[in-house]
Amino acid sequence: MSIAEHFAGQRPLFSAIGKAGACSVLALALLLPGFPGPQAKVEVPDEYQPVSPTIDQARANILIARQLQFTHFRDLGISDDLSDDVFHSYLDYLDGQRIYLTQEDIDAMADIRDMLGPALRTGQLQPGFYVYNLVQQRIIDRLEFALGLLDQGIDNLDFSTDEEILLDRTDASWEADQAALDTLWRKRIKNAVLSQRLNGTEDSSIEENLRRRYEGQLKRAYQARSEDAFQAYMNAFTSMWDPHTSYFSPRTSENFNINMSLSLEGIGAVLQSDNEYTKVVRLVPGGPASKQGQLQPADRIVSVAQDDEKPVNVIGWRLDEVVDLIRGPQDSVVTLEVIPANATDETVTRTIAIQRDEVKLEEQSASKSVIELERGGEPRQIGVITIPTFYADFQAMQAGDPNYKSTTRDVRKLIEELESDGIEGIVIDLRNNGGGALHEANDLVGLFIDQGPTVQIRNAKNEVQVLEDEDPTVAYDGPLVVLVNRMSASASEIFAGAIQDYGRGLVVGSQTFGKGTVQAVRPLNHGQLKITQSKFYRVSGGSTQHKGVIPDIEIPSRIDKTRIGEDALDHALPWDQIESVPHTRYFDFSAVIPELRERHSERFDTNPEFKLLQKEIEFLKKQRQMDYVSLNPEKRREHYDQIENTRLAITNARRELRGDEPFESLDELEDWQEQEAANPDSTDAESDFVIREGGQIMADLVELDRHMASIEQSSRLAAQAGPQ
């Protein structure tokens, strides 16, 4: 009997069980563990207990399906055509690197691939659980194979051949059969051994590290739970609508904020599952990780260690369990082993020690500084206001505290202080600001305009709500520049877009993230569903979704836009536009932007800092474009030395520009980087450079504004004088 024939004879689980549960024994007997598999039957060892769906999960599946069809912003039905997409999305989640399953396995699941859509409509979870159990069995097979190779000793691995290994297998074909997969895994282990040898690790330690990694993953595979399969399956299903719609299990729902940030007695990082890894999405401003400086977005966590204890390998762990390891008592130290976002392959890791702490509101607060420039022999002062996030102390506000903290209140005070210092323009720095309180973005726009709309919000029924600044007062009406980068998202994009649409200031930097959707969390009988229900639109009508905000003047960044940003996510909602709403246009920058860009380019063409930044970006780009690495020690060492020498050369060139002594070795560079990371007051070279360039553009703007004002005044005087 084929898979399709087996499932065709069953009623939906929800219907088979009934309200009274009288048929529960029969229904549970029909679940996965005992049903016949495809022609290529999966052999399940005694140690592994296949997981089965529950009645509550079946009911939750039906509720999720209804919510997606009738309340999600995207109008997408659960058709038969959806089956194939869900199937591949599910496999991407379970085996995204194509290292456990074979093409034989995929072919054997052809019937399942065609039935997922109808089954998900009616709460039949058995097909999805079958796939999950098959993958778990294949994971166990592979890890036992890897441990068997280690038992033979890594000194028996043959490195004399000129083999290569593909670094990123996301788009690779499935290996044909088990023999081909054995070859792949031999290469994977050789790659891991070679990378650690090049780092100077002894063979005994390499073998211990790898054994600990594989044994830890094997233990997790044997401990698979029904909830793991259900959450993975539901998230493959919900991701068809958009990447921000997801299912939270009951345990995750109890502590929803761990999916948003580890800000309370943690490290202050937003984490998410990424295949078998836990990936850093962004850092919480003012949090321990942000202040420590080494952890970066797109880093993947390999292991977690408490104080001086041995690290625990967390590859293959559930997100909530990784979070539990990372959280801990305030002032204690957690050490993360991570694969850096720009690593050449998954065996290149670095260790980062972070002292746990609470994220305090005052550490997320807006702050000010003054840039002093010289133009034509005259000093110029430009004010800078850095806003890490859009915040508000809601408890103090509700308690009636007249001095409660918020972004808008704090920025208003900083503007007053800067104006009293005699600044000629203000730069608002929103780089790395991931958003926050929407009403604060609305109010902040109001500090720079008289009155008017700030953002439009459209729901699935095409109903549009317009948020407005109703306060006619203006805190600052002088020249304005807004700095953004790829990590500027959500509320930051609303503010930057409004300033650009009103012609109130210039936007400078790199294209923003493109997060222009609104989610709501809805309870289910079993867990919760976070579902996208609305989209943001600028007052000019264009959405901030997918496209983000395009700067008037672009400054390149180290951040890889192909890996970070809304347009890098599968099934992201597209950019579109609606009608604009009436709003004042304070200034038309189109007349001066060409001149501003030309001056900016001239500075960059002769600026050694920018040349180094370009060289570093190109270096990182080449690293990311590497598809294969050699498993030959000599070739690998040559490649490794080239990368590390380039990195050292760029760092030393930057130090020489600043009058610092160059480093003699990579070890000396890495020691310095650790010391810098431990100093929260240290200044990042790119950040300092971009802020100063923002000040230069502001100074250009002030000069051009004065020049144009002078021309206008001359024209008026000439008109008043009349013909001579």
Using the predicted structure, report yes or no on whether residue 457 has a pLDDT greater than 70. yes
Per-residue pLDDT at 567: 94
Question: Are 262-355 and 362-588 equal in CATH topology?
Answer: no
Region 295-316 average pLDDT:
87
Under the banding of pLDDT at 50, 70 and 90, the label for residue 27 is: very low
Region 169-181 average pLDDT:
95
Per-residue pLDDT at 578: 97
Using the predicted structure, report yes or no on whether residue 465 has a pLDDT greater than 50. yes
Alpha helices in 99-240 (DSSP H): 103-108, 110-121, 126-151, 178-198, 203-222, 226-238
Annotate 432-471 with b (16+ C-beta within 10 A) or e (fewer): bbbbbbbbbbbbbbbbbbeebbbbbbbebeeeeeebbbee
Per-residue pLDDT at 68: 96
Region 64-75 average pLDDT:
96
Least confident among 61-70, 257-266, 548-557, 635-644: 257-266
The sign one gets for the Cα dihedral 207, 228, 253, 565 is: positive
Beta carbons within 8 Å of 655's beta carbon, 6+ residues apart:
661, 662, 663
Per-residue pLDDT at 709: 58
Token representation of residue 180: 């081909």
Region 313-326 average pLDDT:
84
Using the predicted structure, report yes or no on whether residue 592 has a pLDDT greater than 70. yes
Per-residue pLDDT at 710: 55
Q: What is the dihedral of CA 47, 52, 54, 55, to 10 degrees?
A: -140
Query: Considering the entire predicted model, what is its pTM?
Result: 0.84
Region 384-401 average pLDDT:
87
Region 516-532 average pLDDT:
95
Higher pLDDT, 621 or 138: 138
Using the predicted structure, report yes or no on whether residue 413 has a pLDDT greater than 80. yes
Region 51-68 average pLDDT:
97
Per-residue pLDDT at 67: 96
Per-residue pLDDT at 539: 98
Region 336-357 average pLDDT:
82
Using the predicted structure, report yes or no on whether residue 161 has a pLDDT greater than 80. yes
Distances (CA, A) of 201 to 184, 193, 207, 210, 443: 23, 9, 10, 12, 55
Using the predicted structure, report yes or no on whether residue 39 has a pLDDT greater than 60. no
Region 512-517 average pLDDT:
96
Under the banding of pLDDT at 50, 70 and 90, the label for residue 501 is: very high
Q: Return the DSSP state at 241.
A: T
Q: Tell me how crowded residue 74 is: count the other CB atoms within 10 A of its CB.
A: 16
User: Which member of 279, 368, 515, 535 is catalytic?
Assistant: 515
Using the predicted structure, report yes or no on whether residue 94 has a pLDDT greater than 60. yes
Per-residue pLDDT at 257: 39
Per-residue pLDDT at 621: 83
pLDDT digits (tens, 9 = 90+) for 550-587: 999 999 888 888 888 999 999 999 999 999 999 999 99
Region 600-611 average pLDDT:
89
Region 30-50 average pLDDT:
46
pLDDT digits (tens, 9 = 90+) for 616-667: 888 888 887 788 999 999 999 998 888 888 889 988 998 888 888 999 888 8
Q: Return the DSSP state at 357.
A: B
What's the gap between Cα 220 and its chain centre?
Answer: 25
490 is catalytic: yes
CA atoms within a 13 Å half-sphere pointing along the CA-CB vector of 114 = 10
User: Which member of 253, 365, 490, 492 is catalytic?
Assistant: 490
| Residue 36 contacts residue 1 (beta carbons within 8 Å) | yes
Using the predicted structure, report yes or no on whether residue 45 has a pLDDT greater than 60. no
Q: Whole-angstrom Cα distance, residue 105 to residue 176?
A: 9
Per-residue pLDDT at 705: 77
Domain covering 262-355 assigned CATH 2.30.42.10 in the classification: yes
Helix, strand, or coil (residue 127) = helix
Domain covering 362-588 assigned CATH 3.40.190.10 in the classification: no
Per-residue pLDDT at 529: 96
- Mean pLDDT, all residues of the chain: 85
Using the predicted structure, report yes or no on whether residue 34 has a pLDDT greater than 90. no
User: Which member of 357, 501, 552, 560 is catalytic?
Assistant: 501
Q: Whole-angstrom Cα distance, residue 506 to residue 481?
A: 5
Using the predicted structure, report yes or no on whether residue 324 has a pLDDT greater than 90. no
Per-residue pLDDT at 672: 80
Region 479-490 average pLDDT:
96
Least confident among 265-269, 408-412, 646-650: 265-269
Using the predicted structure, report yes or no on whether residue 541 has a pLDDT greater than 50. yes
Task: Report phi then psi at 271, rounded to 5.
Answer: -120, 155
Q: Whole-angstrom Cα distance, residue 130 to residue 34?
A: 11
Per-residue pLDDT at 18: 32
The sign one gets for the Cα dihedral 29, 30, 33, 38 is: positive
Per-residue pLDDT at 259: 37
Beta carbons within 8 Å of 376's beta carbon, 6+ residues apart:
none
Burial class (CB in 10 A: 0-12, 13-18, 19+), 310: exposed
Q: Tell me how crowded residue 133 is: count the other CB atoms within 10 A of its CB.
A: 22
- Tokens 């670094």 sit at which residue? 167
Region 480-505 average pLDDT:
97
Per-residue pLDDT at 32: 33
Q: Whole-angstrom Cα distance, residue 701 to residue 718?
A: 26
The ranges assigned to domains in the chain are: 3-238, 262-355, 362-588
Q: Tell me how crowded residue 617 is: count the other CB atoms within 10 A of its CB.
A: 16
